[in-house]
Amino acid sequence: PEANFTDGQVWDEEMSSSMLGKRLKRVFQNYKAMNKYKVQVQGLAIEDGRPKLSGPELLCQLKGGVKVTTLTSDLQPFSELTWGSLLPQRSMTFDLGPFKSCAVVTSAGSMRHSGLGAEIDSHDMVLRFNAAPTAGYEKDVGAKTSVRLINSQVMASDDHHFLSSSLYSAGILVGWDPAPYSADLNEWYNKTDYPIFEKYQEYRKLHPQQPFYILHPHTEWQLWELIQGNMAEPIQKNPPSSGLLGTALMMSLCDVVHVYEFLPSRRKTKLCHYYQSYYDEACTVGAYHPLLYEKNLVKRMNLGPDQDIYTHGRVTLPGLHTFTC
């Protein structure tokens, strides 16, 4: 295998880029050298010998430092735009929850043959990502979709037929786009990675009844700072993957969150997505996203036993409102 995370039976929380194969190491270095979003790292650099935080300490940092919020129609520049009233009046976490139990279903190839469908559907809320389908895969990924987190690339790409495909018509939609590190809404509005706001307007006009939120860029970069602040090496200066964003979102809405195949089970595979026959280990260890480090963090915060990871690819995380710091 290209990435050497097979030493233990489950994800090694000390994974670093040095453990990657030659090809992925090069891809990693390229992304680390880029700074497309103008990330400023002063004060975040790891000082040698600083104590590593425990799981509960990390959970408290997440609770204190990351606020999952969504755009509202009263925020500038949207309050001054004719279409701004299409945005919700309140942030998602004010409108919804708390829910008892929630499932975050990653799109990893190792979801295939998992037989987790019934377990996933037994949750009160099920979050899925991007173009991940349930039809034809119910036995492994379930059939319920309560929330779908979609990136702006999927929203904008012609291949995905975002405006017309029935894939996106179930549940609540949440869109996101990599924003400048400043998280300044005016700056972002004029410089999105993909045309998220155009697609949002079009979608809302075609499907006015379906709830549709847009993640506030603060959330992306607060999560990024949490990752970098707890890693011993510089990470990619790009926003976290949808997987971590969705996990943080559900931790803000639910009492308990089960995340499936974010930390690979014994079914670990180079198959990128369970619904496509495309193989690339970068899907699991990251290239553009600091996914390797996101997984280290989640491994440290996991409340469940390693056996759950090994057999079910299942991680257990507490809702942020269920503990005090």
Residues that bind ligand C5P (CB under 6 A): 106-109, 129-130, 241-243, 262, 272-273, 283-284, 291
Handedness of CA 321, 318, 71, 238 (dihedral sign): positive
* Smallest separation (angstroms) from ligand C5P to the CB of 278: 10
By C-beta, is 87 or 272 nearer to ligand C5P? 272
Residue with tokens 């809702």: 319
Which position's Cβ is nearest ligand C5P? 243
* Smallest separation (angstroms) from ligand C5P to the CB of 109: 5
Paired with 70 in beta bridges are 215
| CB contact at 8 A, 283 and 108 | yes
Pair of tokens at residue 106 = 């990653």
CA distance 255 to 219: 20
* Smallest separation (angstroms) from ligand C5P to the CB of 193: 14
* Smallest separation (angstroms) from ligand C5P to the CB of 233: 20
By C-beta, is 174 or 283 nearer to ligand C5P? 283
**Which runs of consecutive H residues, i.e. helices, occur in 83-166?**
92-95, 117-121, 138-141, 152-156
By C-beta, is 87 or 214 nearer to ligand C5P? 214
CA distance 246 to 126: 11
* Smallest separation (angstroms) from ligand C5P to the CB of 226: 15
By C-beta, is 71 or 285 nearer to ligand C5P? 285
* Smallest separation (angstroms) from ligand C5P to the CB of 150: 9
Pair of tokens at residue 316 = 């257990």
One-letter amino acid of 34: M
In a 3-state reduction of DSSP, which class is residue 88?
A: coil
Burial class (CB in 10 A: 0-12, 13-18, 19+), 89: exposed
* Smallest separation (angstroms) from ligand C5P to the CB of 104: 9
| CB contact at 8 A, 229 and 281 | no
* Smallest separation (angstroms) from ligand C5P to the CB of 304: 17
| CB contact at 8 A, 46 and 232 | yes
By C-beta, is 109 or 175 nearer to ligand C5P? 109
By C-beta, is 180 or 290 nearer to ligand C5P? 290
CA distance 284 to 281: 5
By C-beta, is 72 or 308 nearer to ligand C5P? 308
By C-beta, is 72 or 238 nearer to ligand C5P? 238
Q: How many CA atoms lie within 13 A of 236 on its CB side?
A: 25
